Chain A
């Protein structure tokens, strides 16, 4: 499919989903919202980490930063502005941090990004305690659930469209080149540093905007709940299982796993995570390319 066809399909899908508030119950709407959130998180994660092989575990950090922009700004600023600011704050944080740590490869990068969430969480907890004398913040006058749904739908659509556009662009080629062989990409004249920071910040923007948009669903915001490492872990898992090198893989597996999570996690919290952990191990061992690689393997076998 050409880029124009892909973008058309995305727009059509988004239009259909935009009608959901008139068709579905509140419960269905909240399920759909979770699906959309993970679609946005997983495709943008795959856009950067899937292409470059830089395993970023910072999604929960970006998400939490966005949520905290909502906690601070909501009430004084309009909802749409808060969401945009949440994304920008996360992107600014990502480019700042990225400039410092994106020369690290492999495990160091992964562990450092994993720690970012903890780091920001502790910093916010500390500053809230010392300067604002609170532990968490209560949100009042949250927008209607339909408004939240449309906002998240818009962000998720923009995220998927951005990923499709990036994949077809110079930036996308540069990121893929970095993933294949960073030194070779450098030799061929790619400014790898700039490409990595741009990709990292773009992914962070969407994660932050999603965090800011979704945060109004919780009436009470505290660092421990918004910097939940589970969100980052689930994002990586979804993208890997779907196939982080593809666009459609993470979307499909985001829907499947969000539904599973919503249905099972509350009833069997520990058992569900045990199964997730087990799935991840089996998948990495026996299907490192994700479910999408099954399809391409099947196509090759037919051809």
Chain B
């Protein structure tokens, strides 16, 4: 019994991280059709910032979370201003925005990832933080992964609440539904676009910071998370924040149980199988009505 609980919990823990990463990407893609394929690279930046703060300055990683969020939010504003604003303004159609932003994302990916290799090298980095086991019932968990899970779910729920109940969230949802209509009722896109893009990167950074508490980090760590995030978005439905959370947790569970019954080296195959199956059977997401 304890074993199954541990397995399910480990799936939910990775799933929680998936949800946060996917939520950030979903905001950018759902709102502006910016397919930011370099999303995972900013997750990696968040992880390295936390690692630096902890090993060089001895700052508690949890206390550093807000700093990571703010730094990446500002990075997001800059990246949006330098790269994506021009694309959204000069592209004649939504499809061209998608294609061009994808290419720019690839450029960013290579830029950021290799800059990280140049600065920090290809070695695995890590630090020990709350690594003691916590026993709940007859299952044992690492303290840091429980903490990461808690924060991941909290971040997703906070984002959900903002989207659902605040004026800002209402404006964002309106823009997701109809960009032109939202502008007609006086929603300020010039302000919202960069802000939402920044918020997406901030979420990626927080996810990276949480990951750095649990796993070792490398400059190439972000790429798989970008692909996973896309799978989660497909599962949960485009532009749906609640779907992201549910899809992330679901994918985490599928991976954990799938790897247990087959082999850990098949993890990628499993995620892709889920991705392709959902795209073929329910292209609007599992929870679409």
**Residue positions of A touching B, CB distance < 8 A:** 53, 55, 100-101, 104-108, 110-112, 114-115, 118-119, 122-123, 125-126, 129, 233, 236, 240, 269-271, 273-274, 276-281, 284-285, 288
Contact = CB atoms under 8 A, between A and B. Distances in A.
B88 to A, nearest CB: 11
A252 to B, nearest CB: 20
B5 interface: no
Q: Mostly helix, strand, loop or mixed at chain A's interface?
A: helix
Contacts of A126: 263, 265-266, 269
B282 interface: no
A293 to B, nearest CB: 14
Contact of B35 (A107, A233, A271, A280): A107
B83 interface: yes
B272 A119 contact: yes
A118 B227 contact: yes
Contacts of B287: none
Interface of B: 29, 35, 37, 83, 86-87, 95, 98-100, 102-104, 106-115, 117-118, 227, 230, 234, 263, 265-266, 268-269, 272, 275-276, 279-280, 283
A129 B265 contact: yes
B110 A233 contact: yes
B265 A125 contact: yes
A233 B114 CA distance: 14
Contacts of A233: 106, 110
Contact of B95 (A53, A125, A279): A53
Contact of B108 (A105, A118, A279, A281): A281
A112 B279 contact: yes
Nearest to A116: B272
Contacts of B83: 281, 285
Contact of A240 (B98, B103, B111, B113): B103
Contacts of A105: 95
Nearest to B283: A104
B23 to A, nearest CB: 17
